[in-house]
Amino acid sequence: MAFAHPLARAAKVWTARGHDGEQRVLVVVTTIPLDKGHKRYKKALVDKLSRAVQDYLNESKEAGAYLLMNRLRDWRQSRPELPA
pLDDT in tens, the chain (84 residues): 789 999 999 999 999 998 889 999 999 999 999 988 888 899 999 999 999 999 999 999 999 999 999 988 777 655 555 565
How many domains would you assign to the chain? 1
Residue 84 lies in a domain: no
In a domain, residue 2? The reply is: no
The C-alpha atoms of residue 49 and residue 31 are separated, in whole angstroms, by 11
CATH number, residue 27:
3.30.70
- How does pLDDT run across 33-49, given as a tens digit for each residue? 998 888 889 999 999 99
Position 60 scores a pLDDT of 94
In-domain check, residue 78:
no
Give the pTM: 0.80
- Domain assignment of residue 16, given as a range: 8-73
